[in-house]
Amino acid sequence: MMKMSKSKRKRLIYNCVTFALVIVAFIVLQSMIANKTITRSLKGQLVPICCWVVMAVSLNLVIGISGELSLGHAGFMSVGAYTGAVVSGWLLRAFDMQDPTLRLVVAVAAGGILAGIAGTLIGIPVLRLRGDYLAIVTLAFGEIIRNLVNVLYIGTANGKLYFSFLNKELPADVTMLVDGAKGAVKIKPISTFTAGFVLIILTLIVVLNLVNSRAGRAIKACRDNRIAAESMGVNVTKYKMMAFVTAAVLAGMAGALYGLNSSTVVPTQFTFNQSINVLVFVVLGGLGNVLGSIISATLLTVLPEILRAFADYRMLVYAVVLILVMIATNNPIIRAWLTRLGNIFRHKFQRGTEKGGAAR
């Protein structure tokens, strides 16, 4: 009984710290914007950082908590980004909806819904597979989505949406919203940092609640021992699906926000490499560790910008840093040494092992 409440308290503290950190960061940055002490460069990165944080947290739900290696997460992001761009463009042009906040909310919701549908369709076959085979199929779906989007044409005229696939056969008077390889065009950027913050909070509420709920325990049980979970009467497919689709919805919402932050979105932004980038955030932050994902997504998005001082060498330095950090945090000898070095950090490292060890 005593032990139960202790672990519960630990969890509560962890959740509070996570929320507090995000909220404090938001307030600090907002006040920096208000008194103009923020650099242009950092200000421009705020919305993308929010999007990558949501991407990392949602992918962590699949990889860290559900224990399935997904390599196609950027595919859901592209579904969201395109949907967001089309919905926002359509609302503006067909219904003359001028209020950017309302448009953003509708677009982000639509992005989430469509990505959720895609997630469901993909999840049904994918989750029958295991391990690396599952990874390669998610990779394949990510690439298929990109390939299809590349030959998709959507335009709007007189309040109607026109779709065309492979060949651009649309009425002459349409305003193009999605133009094949040219991507989603003529987007009016409406994303704001506040919207990004709200989305992060929403993601945290969803993910942390899911993880700590009955369903979350079932998902983790499936991850840790599928057969044991199955024999206890847990419907493995259902719970894995729940994690996968939730992650897809969140990725779609992040995608919509990301797409509406720029005047244009291209299919090449959502390649396999982008999925890998998010995977790096997740692994570096610690599998199953939501706070870790937030921190690593933020740092790794900002890092290449800080490394601009290295000019042509910056991507080289980035690669070296990545390798060294992975070795330093995963090599048992170096880790033991680090642990001894600072007893203050001991607590954090233990959490890393305990959560990270379970998933593959």
What residues numbered 240-259 form the site for other proteins, per CB under 8 A?
258
32 interacts with other proteins by CB under 8 A: no
43 interacts with other proteins by CB under 8 A: yes
Beginning with the edge strand found earlier in the chain, give each strand of the sheet holding 160-165 in spatial order.
160-165, 152-157, 175-179
Nearer to other proteins, 216 or 356 (CB): 356
Paired strand residues for 155: 162, 176
In angstroms, what is the minimal distance from the CB of 136 to other proteins? 4
Chain-centroid distance of CA 67 in Å reads 16
Distance between the two ends of the chain, CA-based, in angstroms?
Answer: 31
Burial of 173 (C-beta count, 10 Å sphere; 0-12/13-18/19+): exposed
> Site residues for other proteins, window 103-142 (CB under 8 A)?
125, 128-130, 132-133, 136-137, 139-141
269 interacts with other proteins by CB under 8 A: yes
350 interacts with other proteins by CB under 8 A: no
In angstroms, what is the minimal distance from the CB of 71 to other proteins? 10
Q: Determine the interface stretch with other proteins among 8-16, 86-94, 206-214, 332-340 (rule: CB under 8 A).
A: 332-340
In angstroms, what is the minimal distance from the CB of 276 to other proteins? 6
267 interacts with other proteins by CB under 8 A: yes
> Site residues for other proteins, window 149-208 (CB under 8 A)?
150-151, 166, 180-183, 185-186, 189
Per rule CB under 8 A, count of chain residues that contact other proteins:
79
286-299 in b/e burial notation, b at 16+ Cβ within 10 A? Answer: bbbbbbbbbbbbbe
Nearer to other proteins, 94 or 266 (CB): 266
Rounded to 5 degrees, what angle do the CA atoms 71, 41, 276 make? 10
Contact 94, 240 (CB under 8 A): no
68 interacts with other proteins by CB under 8 A: no
Contact 85, 267 (CB under 8 A): no
